[in-house]
Amino acid sequence: MLIDSHVNLHAPQFDEDRDEVIARARAAGIALMINISDKISHFQKVRALADHADIWCTVGVHPHEAKDEADLQPQRLIDLAADPRIVGIGETGLDFHYDLSPRDIQAKVFRAHIAAARVTGLPLVIHTREADGVMGDILEQEFATGPFRMLMHCYTSGPDLAARAAALGAWFSVSGIATFKVAEDVRALVRAMPEDRIIVETDCPYLAPVPHRGRRNEPAYLPTVLAKTAELRGWSFAEAEARTEAAFFALFDKISRPAV
């Protein structure tokens, strides 16, 4: 089963042909997709796509948008997560590359998400960029308070943070970046990820894999990401499909595995 664990199908890049994009994904064999929330004010648009039986969604605030949700409380996320189509908390985290929200606000909002993930039992979808030390410290501090499950989405940060997150039981997702010519450091990370905690994603409409780089990304390109993951891990395509599927359902366990 091919599963795209991270799509942004509510993004304006899909406004002209969203239905066609979803149809192409299905034609390419994509059986499930998770549409990822970036902002509470966008939540209804995110959730509407989960009316499709093969699309689920999350609720959360991207670190870029944290400045607009500076007073976010865990209960707001917990209440929204009661929806049966919500299967994760996030995308949330820290982005010190663009710094589109103040760093202290990013951290505060991130901790609210962690609290919501802990209460709901839903996995936390984490974005981290150029914040390795602070991210590792927050994860360890919060995990000591009470455990929670986490996914290091589209992981491109350093090996030290990867090791710290893996020690807390984190899952990792591989994106099209693994196919980029200049991304040998990312390929090294993929080779070192815990073999039973690897899943795949497109992060569409961003990060289209080679040979589609430079175009708008879409879920139909996921097989290219899976093929690269298989190559880097020394797996056959079928083995990579089976392993990432098992890891996906172990993490997103609110979703029942469809009957074959």
Percent of the chain with pLDDT over 70: 99
Average pLDDT, the chain: 97
What's the whole-model pTM score? Answer: 0.97
Q: Which two tokens stand for residue 44?
A: 């209804």
137: Cα separation from own chain's centroid:
21
Residue boundaries of the structural domains of the chain: 2-251
Q: Which CATH number is 2-251 given?
A: 3.20.20.140
What would the pLDDT profile of 191-241 be if each residue is shown by its tens digit? Answer: 999 999 999 999 999 999 999 999 999 999 999 999 999 999 999 999 999
3-state secondary structure of 83: coil
Q: What is the pLDDT of residues 129-149, one digit of tens each?
A: 999 999 999 999 999 999 999
Let me know if 84 is exposed, middle or buried by CB neighbors in 10 A (0-12, 13-18, 19+): exposed
